[in-house]
Amino acid sequence: MRNSARKHLQNKSVKSRLHTLETSYAKLLVAGKKEDAAKTLRLLVSALDKAAKTGVIHRARANRTKSRLSLRLNAIKPAPAPSA
């Protein structure tokens, strides 16, 4: 019982971090900051892979989420270059 309680807290912490990263990623997408969103996506993909590897989330869920997040990033038009 103590083991499951300890693992529950650890899993909850990992899932909370995933949600936080997803929220910050979504905010960057809405703001149109494609470069910053790409950096956050790399962090998020890494966190998803690690969570799937340790069994916190299912591997297929991690892959599906990564795919959807990258599609959202690619859908954004790049910001126009400032003209001199």
64: its two tokens = 């599906």
Per the domain annotation, does 83 fall within a domain?
Answer: no
User: What is the C-alpha to C-alpha distance for residues 14 and 19, in angstroms, rounded to an integer?
Assistant: 9
Tens digits of residue pLDDT in 46-61: 999 999 999 999 999 9
Give the other-Cβ count within 10 Å of 11's Cβ.
15
Predicted local confidence at residue 80, as pLDDT: 66
Which pTM value belongs to this model? 0.84
User: What is the C-alpha to C-alpha distance for residues 32 and 10, in angstroms, rounded to an integer?
Assistant: 33
Mean pLDDT (whole number) for 22-40: 94
Q: What is the CATH number of the domain that holds 69?
A: 1.20.58.110
The answer for 76, left when phi > 0, alpha when psi is -120 to 50, beta otherwise, is beta
Query: Could you list the residue range(s) of the whole structural domain that residue 63 is in?
Result: 2-74
